[in-house]
Amino acid sequence: MKKLLLILLIFAVATSFSQPKEEFDLYFNAIFSGNYPNAKKILLKIKREYPENVKTKLIIANYYSVLFETSGGEDKYYNICKKYSDAAVTQLKKKKINTNNDVFRIISAKSILLKISVKKKEYLSAAKNMQSIIKYFEYATEHQENERMKYISGMYNYYVETAKEDYPIIYPILLFYPSGNKKEGLNSLKECTNSSDKKMQTRSLHQLALIYYKDEKNAALSKYYYKKLLKSYPKNLIWQTEYLNALKKFNLIDDYQKQKKIIKNILIKNTFLTEKQKKYFLRKAEISQVQ
């Protein structure tokens, strides 16, 4: 009887720790798939069951950052996103010692805000967000045996150098940051595309697709990473329209027209989007209307 109770106790503890992770994974799969109603449904369940979990706050911030983007940049979504990102960082910074996972979450929370600041062209705000977590980037570069730290290090190594080139207004601030290395950054991100963690693999593929589109201006490699990404998540219209813009930028007219038809077909069949979101993607894809 004692052995049976012990086994049941172990099972109960294991379940209590695995269940949140499974639900968090389901949320990200829904977001990556472009199924925003299902993502919201999972999010509300997570919020109800694990209200104080720092990962819950990060997921809420992530969800509203997606709404910010797919609404065309409505500040009401940014404000909610910022509230939960800041709450997650505050909760994590209260710990005396941060683990690799804590560092990853702090940088994830700040990166959400940094990304929106860049979209809003608030570059000084972006620099300020980055400045507040420099010590965590330094930590990541010293712990690259951990896959999450390797990803963060790759992002920092690459983007701190391109930021110096792309945003002269914040160049004086960036001079005080630890130097990066674009080649090392790219290599780290490429290694992370082989991760057994689907979320890590997806994030790395997306970053490389963006880098080769916007920064390296390499059409072949941008196409390669977008195709790998969209093979897994063909209904993600954020990524589909990014890929369309990349093809347009590289003047690949035939590929551009084919991609436009793909997006139009997705929009015709898509029942997940609100009217506002549909209009946003129609505008991004330069499509007049769908039946």
Token pair, residue 153, equals 């290090």
Calculated CA dihedral for residues 225, 228, 233, 237, nearest 10 degrees: 40
Cα–Cα nearest to 159, from 108, 207, 103, 110: 207
pLDDT digits (tens, 9 = 90+) for 79-129: 999 999 999 999 999 988 889 999 999 999 999 998 898 888 887 887 777
pLDDT(17) > 80: no
For the chain, list the domains and their CATH numbers. 22-120 (1.25.40)
Nearest to 194 by CA among 182, 205, 207, 181: 205
- CB-CB contact of 50 with 21 (8 Å): no
Amino acid at 157: N
For residues 270 and 235, give the distance between their C-alpha atoms in angstroms, rounded to a whole number: 8
pLDDT given at position 291: 62
What does pTM read for this prediction? 0.89
What is the C-alpha to C-alpha distance for residues 232 and 225, in angstroms, rounded to an integer? 11
Q: What angle do CA 32, 115, 104 make, to 5 degrees?
A: 70
Give the pLDDT score at 19: 52
DSSP for 54-88, written as a single string: HHHHHHHHHHHHHHHHHTTS-HHHHHHHHHHHHHH
In the block, residue with structure tokens 């390669």: 224
How confident is the model at residue 257, as a pLDDT?
97
